[in-house]
Structure 1
Amino acid sequence: MPRSWLADLRARFGGGREEAGLGILAFEAAAAMSRLVSLDRAMSDVEVRRLRADALRAEGVARATSTDQPLLLRLACGELVADLDRAAATAARLGARCCHRAAPSSFLHDFDRVYAEAKRGNGLARLDAAVGFYRGAAKRFRKMERHVAATARLYAEMDTLGELEASERRMVQWMRHSGPIPAQQPAPASAKRQQQAAEPSEKLMRELRSQRQKVRRLMESSLWSAAAHKVSKLLAKSVLAVLARISIAFGANVPGLPVLTVGRAWAIRRTSGPLQPAASPAAAIRHSAPIFRQKDTAFSASDSIKPPASTVGGSGMELRYANVIVSAEKVLRELWPAIHSDEMDAGMDLSKRDELYKMLPVTIREAVKARLRESWKGQAVDEAAAAASMDAVDRTLRWLAPMAHDTVRWHDERSMERAQRFSMRPRVLMVQTLHFADRHKAEDAIVEVLIGLSCVCWYDDERRRPADWDEDD
């Protein structure tokens, strides 16, 4: 959506007055609500069990990142709290905009301080209240779901309106450049063009009127027209509810989170309880990839999810490595039927092999070349060697490819596309991706995959070469 068009929306549709509602800030509020709903769903019984039993115990996580469950829980919790921090910041900004007459309570005007105190464990009575009335919390989250859906529709219809108005401007400009038609001796070609232009112009104007009416109706039924103090209050209470749920689930293993003594009814109905038994604070962190160290400080989301330079994420290569792995998986899928087929015509598209090669970073490309010269110099690749290489590649990709796919999905889910901006589904966590993976281990695995694929490709080329020679003769 063009910025100039967005800047003009408030004046055109009456969003400039405070009493008219949030106006253009409705999209920021909807994005915060979608994030809160996503976090609430991520803390459901099903998602918590999946995180504990599957995601954090996946083979790829154990091989490339760590086997230390408290550490992995800390990383997962850090990302969840970081997402919650962003939603809390939006609630604080909206609360600060509320007039004191509409929202006399300091709860909204000073929500940034209230939230910071709650994270430090102060004001536990407020957090207990946020989760104690679980039925009210569930009702608030359902209300936010409706708000997000309505505002997402408004955003889409505004996009459509912007496109129609751009078409109208182009039409007007074309009409001006075409010039008037002389009244005495009309030019047949010009008259025909004017007549042809008039029909789509009238159709365009009808579409514009209809689209503007649709946008106005959606503005009235979405967050655009909602009172700022009501929206900020809804966000603030929901932020505290999510913080409380995260504290109940992770508090036993993440030092620094507030410790709550909520009623058993809420804990039984709304969570699966602590993820792990409480660990001794003096317990040493043991894991397969020595890239993190436990800190004896208060929990900080930003510090806990900042990857060291020794990780793939610390080098900024996680998405590129993920794309290489996904492409290697596609090459393997095409090579598999080719190698196991007796027909010489069966094979893969060689352009995909070239694309994979061009994707490789220089370091990995040089490592593959060196290993190939060392391993296969002067050796013939027969069917048995190709089959063994293919099996080895398949075994590696079974644990490496899921991390690559999760990495791609993680980046897609945090893009600014409309479909992702207002998505309310639970998101992939960085701990499931290549972000925290040890860089040397990830690179070694990628090199092994590429060497195995090279062996299979050599055999595929060799087995079809005699047929090519016969055709040349």
Structure 2
Amino acid sequence: MPARSWLADLRSRLGAGARADGLGILAFEAAATMSRLVSLHRTLSDAEFRRLRADVLRAEGVARLTSADQSLLLRLSCGELVADLDRAAATVARLAVRCCAEAPLLRDFDRLYAEAKRGRLAQMDATVGFSSGARKRFRKMERHVAVAAKLYEEMDALRELEASERRLEHWKQHSGPILSQAAPGKKPAAEPGEKLMRELRVQRHKVRRLMEGSLWSIDAGSAAKLMAKSVLAVLARISIAFGAFVPGLPSLTAGRAWPLGHSSGPLHRSATPGAALRHSAPIFGQKDTAAMSVLESIKPPASTVGGSGMELRYANLILSVETLLAALGPPAAAGGSEEVQEGMIDLSKRDGLYKMLPMSIREAVNAKLRESWRGQAVDEQAAAASRGELEMVLRWLGPMAHDTVRWNDERSMERGQRFSMQPRALMVQTLHFADRKKADAVIVGVLVRLSCVCRYDDERRRLESMDWDDE
């Protein structure tokens, strides 16, 4: 049975486990939205914003492959955060439509949110109440998300038990009852189905209790109002944090809109803002004119790694280089057949790495290798120099690859990420906005150096194997 159908059927089977006016199966969509809002709230904290400006946007890899223009990078970061907030606001608006809400905040939330993005927040202070209870609302959402995640987990366990029950019933229908064997003078063992039924009763009770204390049974209007206020509070925080660097953000003062303290001081702007990429347009439109959508403003151009759809492939390629280089450790004093076995493993890894290469990079690497080697052997000194250069490049290239994989994982709908509330990686710290030509050149250089190290290692293993055979 499909998961959604199973969840829809669960409410009727568990009876009083949920209120009639509760969210029901929409609880998990609401929890995912709350987790997104909490994650944004944490990403925009003073500590995280300082880390963004001092470390993330000034990372060597970002400067080399994307841009050193801090104003540009801040606009891209802001655009992605607003895009995430837009998705959360859209969910809140859909949920608010289901409510018989008399609150002005919910009656037309999509319009109200659009007005807020145009800078008309002052007229909503009395309704939204930014300064009162912001921390409390986010803590409340954290609790809701934690309980929803637990409910989701226990429902999965219940579904597995019920599947086992159906299999057992099917087996009984076709094979007859299971006869329990017992030793003379001893009480017969319980029928296998009895243990399963006990587990089912316990699990159903556990799910019912979680339903009663979770978003499943909470009034949709209350949940929508909680999220709506949080959406506007996050928007206020974005305006405060990025207002000095991003054109078109609503103008707010920290004291009125957000209780977490002031953002970092002003940033020195580049003399040529927006020179590296075409993303210098305002995030929001001024006045009432139509503006380029936020999602479009953060879409990587075709000239970037992300624009060509190669970001994850390049990231996995770089991670494979790291793994292979780690496997090519310093030569052991002895090893014999064990060394040969390690060499076979390395060859397998290298074959997989070679298959990951795009044709353009493969051809460029082969051309570089023909030019560099020309049939000459690689000595220990050349291999050590290549290894040192490779490690230096991976020190700044590796973090971008790891962050790219993390970025993709965090935005997947896997269970482990659906309710994650941790600060997320941003596209600017990944390979998404990296210039494709620069990235290709760096990767070609990495692979040429790796080939040098591997060639020397192969020759070393071959000589050690010959010595072992002679003995």
Please report the TM-score for the alignment, with normalisation by the length of structure 2: 0.89
Measure the CA separation in 2 of the matches of 1:15 and 1:21: 12
Alpha-carbon distance between aligned partners in 2 of 1:275 and 1:420, rounded to the nearest angstrom: 33
Q: Is the 8 A contact 1:56 1:431 kept in 2?
A: yes
Kindly indicate whether residue 370 of structure 2 is the aligned counterpart of residue 373 of structure 1: yes
How far is 1:133 from its partner?
Answer: 1.6
Q: Does the aligned pair in 1 maintain the 2:22–2:216 contact within 8 Å?
A: yes
Following superposition, the deviation at residue 197 of structure 1 comes to: 11
2:390–2:450 contact (8 Å) kept in structure 1: yes
State the 1:14 CA deviation.
5.1
Name the aligned partner's letter for residue 44 of structure 1. Answer: S
Alignment pair present for 1:113 and 2:103: no
Alpha-carbon offset, residue 344 of structure 1: 5.5
Q: What is the 5 A alignment of 1:39-438?
A: 39-99=40-100, 103-126=101-124, 130=128, 132-134=130-132, 136-179=133-176, 191=179, 199-263=191-255, 270-273=260-263, 276-277=266-267, 284-285=272-273, 290-295=276-281, 298=285, 300-338=293-331, 341-343=332-334, 345=336, 349-350=345-346, 351-438=348-435
Q: Percent same amino acid among aligned pairs?
A: 66
* CA apart distance, 1:295: 2.5
2:305/2:432 contact within 8 Å kept: yes
After alignment, is 463-472 or 423-432 more displaced?
463-472
Change beyond 3 A, Cα 1:445–1:200: farther
Q: Offset at 1:109?
A: 2.0
Q: One-letter code of the match for 1:47?
A: E
CA distance in 2, matches of 1:456, 1:388: 9
Equivalent residue letter for 1:270: L
Structure 2 gaps of 5+ residues are 182-187, 286-290
Query: What is residue 467 of structure 1 aligned with on the other side?
Result: 464
Aligned to 2:448: 451
Q: Give the SS at the match of 1:441.
A: helix
Which deviations, in whole Å up to 9, do the C-alpha atoms of 1:406-437 show, x marking residues without a partner? 01111111111222111111001111111111
CA distance in 1 between partners of 2:171 and 2:3 (Å): 21
Q: Distance in 1 between matches of 2:389 and 2:189?
A: 64
Classify 1:197/1:20 alpha carbon distance in 2 versus 1 (closer, same or farther; 3 Å).
farther
Code of the aligned partner of 2:370: R
Contact 1:312 1:442 in 2 (8 A): yes
User: Match for residue 442 of structure 1?
Assistant: 439
For residues 467 and 255 of structure 2, the distance between their equivalents in structure 1, rounded to whole angstroms, comes to 81
Offset at residue 335 of structure 1 (A)? 1.6
Residue 448 of structure 1: how far off its partner (Å): 1.1
The amino acid that maps onto 2:246 is: V
* Cα distance, 1:16–1:204 mapped onto 2, change above 3 Å: closer
For the 8 Å contact 2:14–2:204, the answer to whether it is kept is: no
Name the residue aligned to 1:187. Answer: none
C-alpha distance in structure 2 between counterparts of 1:405 and 1:71, whole Å: 23
Quote the Cα distance in structure 1 between the aligned partners of 2:365 and 2:269.
43
**1:6 maps to which residue?**
7
Seen in structure 2, the aligned counterparts of structure 1 residues 127 and 453 have a Cα distance that, compared at 3 Å, is farther
Q: Secondary structure at the match of 1:208?
A: helix
The question of whether the paired residues in 1 share the 8 Å contact of 2:387 and 2:450 is answered with yes
Distance of aligned partners of 1:230 and 1:278 in 2 relative to their CA distance in 1, 3 Å threshold: farther
In structure 1, C-alpha distance between the alignment counterparts of 2:45 and 2:162, rounded to whole Å? 44
Residue 20 of structure 1: CA displacement? Answer: 3.1
Q: How big is the shift at 1:217?
A: 0.3
Deviation of the 1:132 alpha carbon: 4.8
Contact preservation (8 Å) 2:57, 2:429: yes
RMSD, matched Cα:
2.7
Contact 1:251 1:274 in 2 (8 A): no
Kept in 2, the 8 Å contact 1:326–1:401? The answer is: yes
Count of residues paired in the alignment? 452
Q: In 1, distance between residues paired with 2:386 and 2:408?
A: 31
Q: What secondary structure is seen at the aligned counterpart in 2 of 1:440?
A: helix
SS of the equivalent of 1:336 reads coil
Conserved? CA contact 2:179–2:191, under 8 Å: no
C-alpha distance in 2 between matches for 1:468 and 1:17: 70
Partner of 2:288: none
| Cα shift readout 1:200-219 (whole Å, capped 9, x = no counterpart) | 21111110110000000000
Deviates further, 171-180 or 454-463 = 171-180
- Distance in structure 1 (CA, Å) of the matches to 2:268 and 2:11: 52
Q: Which moved more, 1:404-413 or 1:198-207?
A: 198-207
1:289-332 Cα distance to aligned partner (Å, 9 max, x none): x3324226727421221111111111111111111101101111
Tell me by how many angstroms 1:242 deviates: 0.4
CA distance in 1, matches of 2:131, 2:467: 80
C-alpha separation in 2, matches of 1:378 and 1:451? 15
Question: Could you say if the C-alpha distance between residues 42 and 17 of structure 1 is closer, same or farther in structure 2, counting changes exceeding 3 Å?
Answer: closer
Is the CA contact (8 Å cut-off) linking 1:56 and 1:69 kept in structure 2? yes
